[in-house]
Amino acid sequence: MVDTIYGENEFPFMSALPENLYELYTDIMAKVQINCHIQFEQHWYSVPWKYQGEVVSVHGYAKRVEIYAGTVCIANHKRLFGKAGTYSTCVSHMPSEKESTYLPWNKKRFISWAKRIGPYTGYVIEKLLVSKAIEQQAYRSCLSILHMGDNGKECDLEQSCQDYKETGRCNPGIYRYIKEAMENIAAD
């Protein structure tokens, strides 16, 4: 009797099981940073530049990361593992030289700020901006270095940048060198 009731009343309305299993994911909200990336589990994933400053939804699956603005998927990346701070960047997400002039944070703004502090700070920021294959990946380091000159420490920052230039260093550890030089100046 139960089989006939089920077969007559419910079976015709049932749909087939999905072909793919449901994937669990971690869902967080993240703000698109000045470098056109969001941070998810200590890694950086690019987002189209026009979303800079907006809050987006990030879905972290086992092997991929999807980024949504509302219900629209605006970016899809292979999930990164390993060393923290690694970038996954799609060049098409970055603004062109012309488009970047309309953004509040760009190469010109960093260099202008740095040169107001001094020529050596300008040199370091210019070197940092060209040290990355994608300019926006240097923005966070530039911002951190320039903020070291806050609270009346512009002269210390300029001295540290002069020391960096005079050592003739050419490795990518610019931020670490400047930070340690600032700490040494503060200790004296």
Q: For the whole model, what pTM was predicted?
A: 0.79
The pLDDT value recorded for residue 21 is 85
Going by pLDDT thresholds of 50, 70 and 90, the confidence category of residue 91 is very high
Phi, psi at 56, each rounded to 5°: -125, 165
Cβ atoms of 70 and 29 closer than 8 Å: no
Per-residue model confidence as pLDDT tens digits over 70-82: 999 999 999 999 9
Distances (CA, A) of 106 to 19, 36, 50, 135: 46, 11, 13, 9
**CA dist., res. 33 & res. 53, Å (int):** 6
> Residue 124: which residues within 8 A CB-CB, separation 6 or more?
114, 145, 161, 164, 165, 174, 178
- Side-chain half-sphere exposure of 117, counting CA atoms within 13 A: 29
Q: Is residue 2 pLDDT above 70, yes or no?
A: no
**Beta-carbon contacts of residue 7 (< 8 Å; ≥ 6 apart):** none
Residue 1 has pLDDT above 80, yes or no: no
- Tokens coding 143: 């911002």
84 and 43 Cβ atoms separated by less than 8 Å: yes
pLDDT band for position 181 (cuts 50, 70, 90): confident
| Cα distance between residue 136 and residue 99, in whole Å | 13
Q: How many other CB atoms sit within 10 Å of the CB of residue 37?
A: 27
What value does the mean pLDDT of the chain take?
A: 90
Buried b (16+ CB within 10 A) or exposed e, 106-145: bbebbbebbeebbebbbbbbbbbbeebebbbbbbbbbbeb
- Report, as an integer, the average pLDDT of 120-126: 94
- Do residues 161 and 119 make contact, with C-beta atoms less than 8 angstroms apart? no
